[in-house]
Amino acid sequence: MIRPEQPEASRLSILALTAPVAMGYVPLGSVFGFLFVQAGAEWWLAVLASLCVYAGAAQFMMIPMLAAGLPVGAIALATLIVNLRHVFYGLSLLERMPRQRLLRWYLIFALTDETYSLLTSLPKTVSHRQMAGIALLNQGWWLLGTLLGALIGASAKVPLVGLDFALAALFAVLTVEQWRARRDAFPIWVALLAYGIAQWLAPPHALLIAIVLSILVGLWRKPESAKLSGEAKP
Amino acid sequence: MSDNLYIITVLLAMALVTFALRALPFLAAQWLGKHPWVARLGRFLPLAIMTLLLLHAVHGAAGEHAAGPWPELAAVAVVVLLQLKSRNPLLSILAGTGLYVLIRNFALI
């Protein structure tokens, strides 16, 4: 998706690569900022949340909890449950992360669903600086949305519903590209089955349960040796 | 919800928990080392998780209206087909999202 031969072209394509994330993050971030301010908090606290927490679902979840004045420990525990899936994201990025400390720790901090999706789909030629650039741009979109929503959300009306479907479309594109990289549809079938089971078991935690089920299958399944030998180590 | 100190404390606690979760595999890397499980998961997980994120997003979007999931399925089908043919992410995403916005705003829903 990225052609990093020329610095000019690569900067452009990093922007293009994060464009679908922007289409999801700016509207979603502004909804968060709007709701947060509506619940009675000051606008800069919404920006602070997107700056230091930076986890979409958990940020939405905390609004009613903050409004209800729940203890800090309870909200921290809820955050742990909602964000538990992020524990598994690093597993597939261990070898691709930069050694350089600042870049490394920022990338780890900024490992949201969308950034993880983009980073795991990049070709091996993409530099560490470009990886960090993508992560930084994504958080920039989220902050921009939060700020817009918190400042002018009350007066602005979104004329169209469904614009945040760009995030689902992004996941669809990345699913296609991940499949193209290995031509192995098995993980797709496992994911479909796992999600069905998880929705049946406990809809509020469907995503986390489905990820855990998929990991169990992934650990149990031995990779075919033919595919192993054809693979180059980074 | 006017107590700024309370909110800031909550935000810091949430930030700490989230960051710890994201950092855990990297801190545990030296123990995990070159364990075959990690390599196995590295090959299997990205596609599985991407599919799950897609399913979850589609499920969430379909829950916002009462017409059944056909607008989502149609839009995802367009994205997948375009991406398979064109390999142009921006085109696929714009076309799929455009179709979805059209259906949701101007069609039967």
- Proportion of chain A above pLDDT 70, given as a percent: 86
The model's pLDDT over A101-148, given as tens digits with 9 standing for 90+, comes to 899 999 999 999 899 988 988 887 888 999 999 999 999 999 999 999
pLDDT over 90 at A165, yes or no: no
Return the residue in B93, B101, B105, B108 with the most chain A beta carbons within 10 A, the one to mutate for interface testing.
B93
Residues of B in contact with A231 (CB under 8 A): 43
Please provide residue A153's backbone torsions phi and psi, each rounded to the nearest 5 degrees. Answer: -55, -35
Residue with the bigger pLDDT between A155 and A151: it is A151
Return the residue in A36, A43, A92 with the most chain B beta carbons within 10 A, the one to mutate for interface testing.
A92
The model's pLDDT over A27-41, given as tens digits with 9 standing for 90+, comes to 888 888 888 887 788
The model's pLDDT over B20-51, given as tens digits with 9 standing for 90+, comes to 999 988 887 766 656 777 777 777 888 888 89
Please give, rounded to a whole number of angstroms, the shortest distance from the CA of A105 to a CA of chain B.
Answer: 8
Please provide residue B7's backbone torsions phi and psi, each rounded to the nearest 5 degrees. Answer: -60, -45
Q: What confidence category does residue A53 fall into, taking pLDDT thresholds of 50, 70 and 90?
A: very high
Read off the tokens for B65: 């209206």
pLDDT over 80 at A207, yes or no: yes
Of A86-95, A125-134, B75-84, minimum mean pLDDT range? A86-95
Are A211 and B43 within 8 A, CB to CB? no
DSSP string of B33-61, one letter each residue = TT-HHHHHHHHHHHHHHHHHHHHHHHHHH
DSSP string of A112-159, one letter each residue = -HHHHHHHHHS-TTS-HHHHHHHHHHHHHHHHHHHHHHHHHTTT----
Please give, rounded to a whole number of angstroms, the shortest distance from the CA of B34 to a CA of chain A.
Answer: 10
> What pLDDT, on a 0 to 100 scale, did the predictor assign at position A161?
75
Considering chain A, what is the average pLDDT of its residues?
A: 82
Of B1, B17, B54, the CB nearest to A171: B54
B69 has a chain A CB within 8 A of its CB: no
Q: What is the biggest distance separating any 2 CA atoms in chain B, rounded to whole angstroms?
A: 56
pLDDT over 80 at A7, yes or no: no
pLDDT over 70 at A9, yes or no: no
pLDDT over 60 at A234, yes or no: no
The residue of chain B nearest to residue A99, with distances taken between CA atoms, is: B26
Residue with the bigger pLDDT between B39 and B66: it is B66
Are A94 and B25 within 8 A, CB to CB? yes
Q: What confidence category does residue A5 fall into, taking pLDDT thresholds of 50, 70 and 90?
A: very low
CA distance A210 to A192: 9
Q: Is the pTM of this model over 0.90?
A: no
The model's pLDDT over A182-200, given as tens digits with 9 standing for 90+, comes to 889 999 999 999 999 999 9
A1 has a chain B CB within 8 A of its CB: yes
A161 has a chain B CB within 8 A of its CB: yes
Mean pLDDT, residues B1-18: 89
Residue with the bigger pLDDT between A213 and A156: it is A213
> What pLDDT, on a 0 to 100 scale, did the predictor assign at position A3?
45
CA distance A108 to A117: 13
CB distance A54 to A112 below 8 Å: yes
